Amino acid sequence: MGVSLTGCVSSENLQKNQYLLFSQTVRGNRTLPSSDFEALIPQKPNRRILRLPITPALWFYRLGSRTYDQEAAQRALEAKRKEYDQFTEKPDSTKSYRKQERRYNRQLTRLRRRAEEGNWVMRSLGEPPAFFVETEAKENAQKMQRFLFNNGFFLGKASYSVDSNKTLGRRVRVTYNIVENVAFHLNQITYQIDDPRVDSIVRPTLKRSVLKSGERYNAEKIENERIRIEELLRNNGYYSFTRQYIPLPLNVDSSRTLSTDSAFRNLNLWLRIANPPGQSQHPVYTIGEVEVRVARAEDRSSLDTVQYRGLKFLLGKQNYAIRLLDSRIFLRPDSLYRLKNYQESQRQLFLLNQFRFANISFTDTTNRRLRTRFNLVPIDKYELSSEGGVFVLYQGQGYPGPFGTASFRVHNIFGGLGTFETALRYGFEAQTGFSLNSSGIGFAQELGVNTSLIFPHILFPGKARFIFSQLNPRTQVSLGYNYTSRPDYGRRLLRTALSYNWLKNNTHQYNFTVAEINYLKATIKPGEDGLAFLNYLNTQDSLGSTIRKSFLSAFSSSIGFTYTYNTNILGQNRRANFLRLSFESGGTTLNFFSNQQLESFFNTTATSGLQYYKYLRGNVDFRHYIPLRPKTTMAFRFNTGLVFGYGANKTAPYEKLFFAGGSNSIRAWLPRRLGLGSSIPYTSDTDILVPEFNPKRPGQFRYDFEQPGDILIEASAELRTHLFHLGGDINGAVFIDAGNVWTLRDNGSRLGENFQVRKSPSEYLSRNFVQQIAVGTGVGLRIDFSFFIIRLDGAIKVYDPARYFIYDPDRNGYVVEGKRPGEFIDERYFLPKFRFDKMFKGPNPLVINFGIGYPF
């Protein structure tokens, strides 16, 4: 295959003196990293496999070009353009005209791509040949020499050499040779400022300057210092000041002759801030009249004028809360012009989510006063949206099914700049029953209705609601109902909440849930599946587990606080961090009453009435992203949490417990099926050291039940890289996951499920929680359509702490050679059990996870 791919590529269609670019290397640099020089080279060799001369993408491009006629593609494009021009000569506003216009635009876009980039094979699977061009190599070397100069290597040299030996054929290797020579460092930094008032503003801030004596000369830092001074002055009334008044090149003086007899050179730097031509000082501006126009284009003929706190509001047909709008405007009449007030006003108005445009313009009038005009164009009052797709409710037990979501929004409700939103979601999937003995197919379905009112301020009596205006505060009052139905059980949840949200800036977010109240109605379904599930709950209850209480009707309330720090921007491959800290206290107000009073009020018994909960819950989620190459990233995640139930039932609501396994967790296990600890996931009797195996998959444990825990520890590392483009960007990933969940208390239900820091004296439990960490690994595929990402991950188990059990070959025919009944089987290092010929049927099957977006 390699010969056929490279043979035709190296010689076919290559003209005389035409060579393919095989590789590019930067050598000789010692201080500056090679990646900085490589970033200056726009030309890239064709992609190869394992650095071998095998270029499949180039081969596909050649294959597609055999049937591609560029002249015909250009003629088709020109014909369609003429047809479109004739169509647009007689425009109208009918729906059919707009539909036909959109069709023409799609056709023109498709034909233009074909004419410019080739046919589908060439565009999607192929890659154009990368030819070596002598003039481009010269330009690259010149850019590298300028880069050396801009980084303090004034005597640096950059050149290139070309290798085209016989083994390469019609290919060349290009080597860029770097000679850095001595580096020049800043000695004295002198600021020459012509305007005394500007001098009094700039000089006290020099400690914040990015230019430091003793550091190597760096042109980028000098530019950053110019930007810093520009922003400083524009925040002190200098509306017309630009960095052009800090001229380049700066006055640079070497304290020694520019020679190469030393590895270190000092230089003095003079940075001048000049006055405008013909003037003795820079003008200072203040804000004059401020006019705020809030109207659509069709409303501008009849506007109502309202004066409020020195601002003039021109309003269209809709009413708006003038006081709220005023609290988001920081440009005030007679105040000094400040750039940060302009930026913050625009940002705050945009974050209201009420305006399509929020433009601010200035007009310089007499006496250096800026007449300020805000032009706010409201978005539509009513908004209806919908989406649909395929989802999986319970992976591993069902088959993907459809879902649909419809949302309705009302903007500027009651004229208070608030938003009313209601969303309806429904989805279902075919699902095998809880009991593996069941041959029927049931349906798992989910129905949700959520309604919320969002106010752009802190909903609180008095003037306090306007104190946090610069933090983009929001109050959300929500009411929701969710219904989940499975073949074995059903759950109905009614939820209402009041929460405050605010932003310190784009990276710091805060959420304070003042109150959240939930009412849960749970039922066990009749039939074989429901009976099997009920038997499991009763067995666990008799062993001391609290899971049975999670499937009784319940009432819960809580307050909570969440802080999020996020510097990761989707689509930008750069070093970033994500941290979420959350704390929640459930049933806090119930502490004012005794358990007897609460049980009487809620009519609580072991099997009826309403369960109530008192608990504390904390969670820490940290992620770190490291770019390795322009389209390659290393991502890490550490996630841990603890929930402590201190009420009479010693637990928390089911939704507040922790789970491991699934597409956003340990992907080698089915969703919510990992754990607890080293305990066996399922057994049908009290001999809990003997597991039940899947009768349809010999050697696989039965993972019928979700495994809720009180303690969660999980970590992941994932290498992400770009593969090719096919409709969207196709990205790949290699990952390893580790973690587990445990119970906080030893309730005696199963051996190995509780969290232990120290080793247990028991032979079976002679390991701490570190030795109970499960490990999985796998590969993934991501289809990136920019607006959403479809993700498929395939993972297998590497280390399974539960695979240490008593051997019993009579259970579903799982036979281990050389072992007798009653002996312990140690299969915790489980990776060797994976076999490609039994990828899904073997003891260690490939677990496929489907998801939307990245796992972390």
For residue range 339-384, what is the model confidence (pLDDT) as tens digits?
Answer: 999 999 998 898 888 888 889 999 987 788 999 999 998 888 888 8
Residues 6+ apart with CB under 8 A from 488: 433, 434, 435, 524, 525, 529, 530, 532, 533
- How far from 716 is each of 264, 674, 838, CA to CA, in Å? 45, 15, 26
b/e map 816-852, b = 16+ CB within 10 Å = eeeeeeeeeeebbebeebbeeeeeeebbbbbbbbebe
Contacts for 514 with CB less than 8 Å, ≥ 6 apart: 498, 499, 500, 559
Lay out the sheet containing 171-179: strands in order across: 20-27, 171-179, 157-163
Residue 86: Cβ-neighbour burial (10 angstroms; 0-12, 13-18, 19+) = exposed
Q: Is 82 helix (H, G, I), strand (E, B) or coil?
A: helix
pTM for this predicted structure: 0.74
Name the amino acid, one letter, at 188: Q
Question: Cβ(76)–Cβ(111) under 8 Å?
Answer: yes
Tokens of 385: 């949206």
CA dist., res. 700 & res. 703, Å (int): 9
| Closest to 502 in 3D by CA, of 413, 566, 563 | 563
Name 119's Cβ contacts closer than 8 Å, sequence gap at least 6: 64, 67, 68
* Measured distance CA(412)–CA(431) in Å, rounded: 43
- Residues 295 and 375: their CA atoms lie apart, in Å, by 8
Q: Determine how many CB atoms are found less than 10 A away from the CB of residue 356.
A: 10
Kindly give the parts of the chain with pLDDT less than 70: 1-17, 50-51, 165-169, 249-264, 297-301, 388-401, 429-442, 462-467, 540, 542-546, 571, 606, 684-688, 727, 747-749, 758-767, 786-787, 811-813
Whole-number pLDDT of residue 318 = 79
CA 837-839-844 angle, 5° bins: 120
